[in-house]
Homo-oligomer: A and B are copies of this chain.
C-alpha cells in the first residue's frame, strides 16, 4: 500500500538507498574477518602484534610519532583533553557549541575530568581566527572538529587553519583535532592527513564513519601524550583484554575505503546540487559540500517532509533519507553521508526521484499558500 509506510520502513525497503555504505549488520564484521588467519593471536591489554602493527600504521599515516587504539572517540578525546590540561596545569578547554563532547557525551568531560569548557563561536557557524584570538590564558587546549559535523560538515579555509595553529603555538594553547571525519576532508583540502595533523598537538580519528567499520578510534600524538593516554584508557575501562574485533575491522575498512574519499566527495557535491536545484523550499548546508557529507534543510515541517520522502522512496525506489528532524527554524532536515551505495543508484532513478520530490514540495507550498 503506497504512502502508508513510515519513512524508516520506506527507506529500509527502498531498492536504491542513496546514503551510507550498507546495512550495519554482522556481515560487516564477517567481511573484515574473511582474510584473517584464524590462528592470529589476540592482542592482550593493548599489547601484541595485531594492535601494535595497526597503531604504527596509523601513526605513520597521520604523521605522528605514536598512536593508540581506543574503543571509542568519546574515550580518546576526553583523555587527550585531560592530558593537555594536566600537562599545562590548566582546567579549561575550548570547543564549538555543537561539539560532540557538548552534545553527545552526557558531559563526561565535566563529570569525570572536572574540566571547564569554553564554547567558541555561534552554534551556526565555524570557529574563526577572530574567536581564537579571544581565548584567555586559562585555556589549556582548543579542540577543532574538521569538518564541523553538526552544521553540515563545514571547513575553514586551510590558510585560516594554519593561522589558528600558529597562533595557538605562540600562546602555548594546545590544539587537538577531532578528526572523526578527517579522512573525508582530504580531497577538498588537497592535503595529506599528515599535513593537516602537523598543525595539531593531538589527533583523534574514527573508523566507522566514512570508512564504514564497526567501532574504534585512534589517538595520535607525541609519546608523552600517548603513553599517558594508555593509563587513562585503563582507568576508563577501555583497556580491554582483546580489542581485535575492532582493530581488524578498522584496518580492513581503512584499506578498503581510504582511496574512495575523493569519489564520495564528488558524489556529495553532485547530490547537493540536485537538492539545491530541486525547489526553493529545500537546500543544503553547506551549499557546496567539502566532504562526503552535508545537511538538507527544508522550509517544510517534519510532519510534511516525512511522508514526502516516504512516497518518493515507494514510488521511485530511491531512499533519500531514513529520518527527518525538526530544525530550530521550524522547518525540518536531515544529514546525508555518501558511501558505497551512491554509486549503485541508477542516475535515471535519481533524476526521477528529484523530479517527484520537486513536484511534492511545490504542491505542498501551493497548498500552504492557498491556506494562508
Q: Which residue of B lies closest to A50 (CB)?
A: B26
A230-251 interface with B by 8 A CB criterion = 231-232, 234-246, 248
Give chain B nearest CB distance to A344 CB in angstroms: 18
Q: A107 — which chain B residues lie within 8 A by C-beta?
A: 235
Q: A246 — which chain B residues lie within 8 A by C-beta?
A: 245
- Whether A242 contacts B39 in the complex (CB less than 8 A), given A29-B33, A234-B108, comes out as no
A21-42 interface with B by 8 A CB criterion = 23-30, 33, 36-42
Are B36 and A76 touching (Cβ within 8 A)? Answer: no
Are A241 and B26 touching (Cβ within 8 A)? Answer: no
Q: Is the C-beta of A137 less than 8 angstroms from some C-beta in chain B?
A: no
- Whether A235 contacts B28 in the complex (CB less than 8 A), given A71-B240, A215-B241, A215-B242, comes out as no
Q: A33 — which chain B residues lie within 8 A by C-beta?
A: 26, 29-30, 33
Q: A73 — which chain B residues lie within 8 A by C-beta?
A: 237
Identify 22 residue pairs between A and B in the complex whose beta-carbon atoms are under 8 Å apart, listed by A's number. Answer: A24-B241, A24-B242, A25-B40, A26-B36, A26-B248, A27-B38, A27-B39, A28-B42, A29-B245, A33-B33, A70-B237, A71-B71, A71-B238, A71-B240, A72-B237, A72-B238, A74-B237, A74-B239, A75-B238, A105-B235, A215-B243, A236-B237
Are A24 and B42 touching (Cβ within 8 A)? Answer: yes
What is the CA–CA distance of A70 and B240 in the complex, to the nearest angstrom? Answer: 11
- Whether A106 contacts B38 in the complex (CB less than 8 A), given A214-B245, A242-B215, A245-B246, comes out as no
What is the CA–CA distance of A108 and B38 in the complex, to the nearest angstrom? Answer: 34
Chain A 204-217 interface mask (CB, 8 Å, partner B; 1/0): 00001000001100
What is the CA–CA distance of A75 and B238 in the complex, to the nearest angstrom? Answer: 8
Q: Is the C-beta of A348 less than 8 angstroms from some C-beta in chain B?
A: no
The 4 nearest A-B residue pairs measured at CB: A75-B237, A108-B235, A245-B245, A74-B237
Give chain B nearest CB distance to A9 CB in angstroms: 14
Q: Is the C-beta of A224 less than 8 angstroms from some C-beta in chain B?
A: no
Q: A237 — which chain B residues lie within 8 A by C-beta?
A: 70-76, 78, 105, 108, 236, 238
Q: Which of B28, B29, B75, B241 contacts A236 (CB 8 A)?
A: B75
Q: Is the C-beta of A111 less than 8 angstroms from some C-beta in chain B?
A: yes
Q: Which residue of B lies closest to A43 (CB)?
A: B24
- Whether A105 contacts B234 in the complex (CB less than 8 A), given A25-B38, A42-B25, A244-B29, comes out as yes
Q: A278 — which chain B residues lie within 8 A by C-beta?
A: none
Q: Is the C-beta of A56 less than 8 angstroms from some C-beta in chain B?
A: no
Q: Which residue of B lies closest to A24 (CB)?
A: B42
Residues of A in contact, count (CB < 8 Å): 52
- Whether A112 contacts B39 in the complex (CB less than 8 A), given A30-B33, A215-B242, comes out as no
Q: Is the C-beta of A113 less than 8 angstroms from some C-beta in chain B?
A: yes
Q: Is the C-beta of A44 less than 8 angstroms from some C-beta in chain B?
A: yes
Chain A 99-110 interface mask (CB, 8 Å, partner B; 1/0): 000001111100
Give chain B nearest CB distance to A28 CB in angstroms: 7
Q: A44 — which chain B residues lie within 8 A by C-beta?
A: 24
What is the CA–CA distance of A114 and B64 in the complex, to the nearest angstrom? Answer: 33
Chain A 239-278 interface mask (CB, 8 Å, partner B; 1/0): 1111111101000000000000000000000000000000
What is the CA–CA distance of A75 and B236 in the complex, to the nearest angstrom? Answer: 6
Most buried by B among A41, A107, A236: A236
Are B37 and A26 touching (Cβ within 8 A)? Answer: yes
A1-56 interface with B by 8 A CB criterion = 23-30, 33, 36-42, 44
Give chain B nearest CB distance to A244 CB in angstroms: 7
